[in-house]
Amino acid sequence: MQPRRFGSTGLTVSPLGLGTMTWGRDTDAHDAGEMVRAFLDSGGTVIDTAASYADGAAEEIIAGLLHTGIARRDVVLVGKSGVQRTASGSLVLNAGRGALLDDLDASLVRLGTDHLDLWLVQAPDRLTPASETATALEIAVRSGRARYVGVSNYPGWASAQIAGLMSSSGSGIGLAGLEVEYSLLERGIEREVIPAAQALGLGVIGWSSLGRGVLTGKYRRVRPADSRAASAHLRAFVEPYLTEQAAAIVEALAVAAGGLGKTPLAVALAWARDAPGMSSVLIGPRNAIQLSAALEATALELPPEIRSVLDEVTAPPLGYPERRS
């Protein structure tokens, strides 16, 4: 994998990143270790996690790997904060300065490191002023806890708002980039988020680039018993893409993949990886076998005619004012 520059920053990232949402719950430390070593051997660097993943267990697994032969300098560690579990067990958003920095400190302890390469606010919090969130991001960089900072799952206007606040503060610390969902099944960010990121020089990481697993083709005929869609805690995550519209896209993808002699997974991943504006796209394999299948996409470059067909059949509807006449 050839590294890419993350937006206009000095940070370089691998075009594929390893997501850890299932670590500590569906993926144990042994399987995680096998995947990380294979991923790094393939040229990957980005490992993406969050304080909320398995209530911190994913971060603890990463810490174990960093202390058993995985060099910290070989990893671009991306972390997220701002989603907290209450005493009743529900999840709430809190992008306030104190909550974010407390989350960050706790993550660094669990990870066993003194800094994140990229720290992101996991989701927009409508109750907290954007200026307070921007201040927390600046403090994280100024204190050395994060090398670069950004936001995740923010709309284009809110990303631009945070970027503007940081730019005008005079600190010299800017917003580095965004992390947002992106795949053949979810191209909504092309309306305004990608244009905003390109205009502002922001890097973009796409999560769930395989459409929450649906673009692998595993759900074309049945719902496998060991799949996320059959899992009690991940069923709701997958079900939005188990629709007739999504099924039609998966069939078109399968036809394209068959013509190339490749798997739907490899074609979907190559499409997302090389989409305009994308710095890196995340994969979330649960074991080394799934990772190996995803890494087959690293050498695949889609012919222009295949990309054009997939672009056409999955194009997001545009309305006013983003519609181009």
Task: Tell me if 322 is assigned to some domain.
Answer: no
Task: Tell me if 324 is assigned to some domain.
Answer: no
| Residues spanned by the domain of 119 | 4-314
Where in the sequence numbering do the catalytic residues fall? 53
What pLDDT is attached to residue 324? 63
Task: Tell me if 182 is assigned to some domain.
Answer: yes
What 8-state DSSP symbol labels residue 71?
-
In one letter, which amino acid is 200?
Answer: L
Task: Tell me if 294 is assigned to some domain.
Answer: yes
Q: Is residue 284 within 8 Å of 220, Cβ to Cβ?
A: no
Per the structure, how many domains does the chain have? 1
User: Model pTM greater than 0.75?
Assistant: yes
Task: Tell me if 97 is assigned to some domain.
Answer: yes
Q: Which residue has the tokens 């994308």?
A: 278
pLDDT tens readout for residues 239-290:
999 999 999 999 999 999 999 999 999 999 999 999 999 999 999 999 999 9
Domain containing residue 18: CATH number: 3.20.20.100
Task: Tell me if 323 is assigned to some domain.
Answer: no
What pLDDT is attached to residue 224? 65
What pLDDT is attached to residue 220? 81
What pLDDT is attached to residue 228? 63
HEC per residue, 89-157: CCEEECCCHHHHHHHHHHHHHHHCCCCEEEEEECCCCCCCCHHHHHHHHHHHHHCCCEEEEEEECCCHH
Per-residue pLDDT of the chain (325 residues; tens, 9 = 90+): 899 999 999 999 999 999 999 999 999 999 999 999 999 999 999 999 999 999 999 999 999 999 988 999 999 999 999 998 888 888 899 999 999 999 999 999 999 999 999 999 999 999 999 999 999 999 999 999 999 999 999 999 999 999 999 999 999 999 999 999 999 999 999 999 999 999 999 999 999 999 999 999 988 876 766 666 556 667 788 899 999 999 999 999 999 999 999 999 999 999 999 999 999 999 999 999 999 999 999 999 999 999 999 999 999 988 888 776 5
How far does Cα 319 stand from its chain's mean position? 26
Task: Tell me if 183 is assigned to some domain.
Answer: yes
